[in-house]
A = this chain, B = another copy of it.
C-alpha cells in the first residue's frame, strides 16, 4: 500500500500509484488506484480498486469510494459521503456534510459540534452516476444510479435513477442512458440503442 515518507509525502509502491507531490495517508486504497499531484487522501478514507484521484482532489477520512471511481481535479469528498462503483465525480465538484455550517469557534453554536450526529448529514452517490464540473451537492441527498448531474448544478434534494438534472437548484430536465447519453423518443438511446421504460416516475431498463 502507499507509504508516507518523512516529508509527509508518499512514494510509489507496487499496487497503488501515489505521485511524489501527492499525499496519501490511507492504508485502505485498492490496487490499481492512482493519486495525482497535490491531491490528498486522508487516513480513514476508503477507496476501491482502479480509481483515479486527480490533482488537487481531497478525500477525507470517513469518505468511502467504490471501484473504478473517477475523482477529477479539485473534487472534495468529505466524511459522510459514500460513492458506489463506476461513478464519475467531475472537476471542482464539492460535496458538503453540514446543512447549517458555522465556525466551530462561534459560541452561539453551543454543543452542536461536540458530537458528529448533531451536524453530519450523509450523502450517497449510486452506481454509474456522473456529477458534472463544479456541481455542488448539499448534505443529505442521494443521487440515483446512472443519474447525470449537469455541470454547475446545485443539488438540493434526491435525484432519481437515470435523471439528468441541471440548474440552481437542480431540476430534472431529461433522462440519461446507462452509457451517459440523453435518451431520445420513447426512452431509447440514440447512441447505444438501449431502451427504457418509465413506471411510476422511475426509469428502468427493458430486458
Contact = CB atoms under 8 A, between A and B. Distances in A.
Chain A facing B: main interface SS: loop
A180 B96 contact: no
Given A37-B40, A108-B179, A110-B179, 19 more contacts: A8-B20, A8-B21, A23-B37, A38-B40, A56-B58, A67-B105, A88-B101, A91-B96, A92-B94, A100-B130, A100-B148, A100-B181, A102-B179, A108-B194, A109-B180, A112-B179, A132-B136, A136-B151, A167-B169
Interface of A: 7-9, 19-21, 23, 37-38, 40, 50, 55-56, 58, 67-70, 73-74, 76, 86-88, 90-92, 94-96, 100-110, 112, 128, 130, 132-134, 136, 138, 146, 148, 150-154, 166-169, 176-182, 192, 194
